[in-house]
């Protein structure tokens, strides 16, 4: 093998080694970026799960409150004035709601 061809071969090997080093560095940087994105995605998923659990708990709470408020039965306080006897009256009783406002 002539010396010139040997030098060209060594130069080609060194060039390819430099390119491979640059590619490895680029891939390492891309891998780090992907790991960071994956970590952020996992934290986002955890936050979404927490938010969904909070919404479900609030929905259940409101459903219970709605079912309780939709009952037509209630305890009522009554008050008034009797002009014939000239006295005020008050009372407590169980009422059935026909119309709500």
Element (H, E) at 76: strand 73-82
Tell me the per-residue pLDDT of 49-91, one tens digit each, with 9 for 90 and over.
999 999 999 999 999 888 877 888 888 888 999 888 899 999 9
In this predicted structure, the answer to whether residue 1 has a pLDDT above a threshold of 80 is no
Residues with Cβ within 8 Å of 88's Cβ and at least 6 positions away in sequence, in order, are 79, 80, 81, 82
Residues with Cβ within 8 Å of 76's Cβ and at least 6 positions away in sequence, in order, are 92, 93, 94, 95
pTM of the complete model: 0.48
């Amino acid at each position: 093998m002539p010396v010139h061809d040997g030098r060209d071969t060594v130069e080609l090997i060194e060039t390819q080694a430099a390119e491979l080093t640059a590619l490895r560095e680029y891939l390492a940087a891309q891998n780090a970026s992907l790991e960071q994105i994956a970590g952020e995605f996992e934290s986002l998923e955890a936050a979404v799960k927490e938010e969904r659990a909070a919404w479900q708990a609030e929905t259940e709470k409101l459903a219970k409150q709605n079912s309780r408020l939709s009952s037509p039965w209630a305890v009522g306080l009554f008050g008034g004035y009797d002009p014939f006897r000239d006295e005020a009256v008050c009372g407590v009783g169980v009422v059935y709601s026909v119309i709500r406002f």
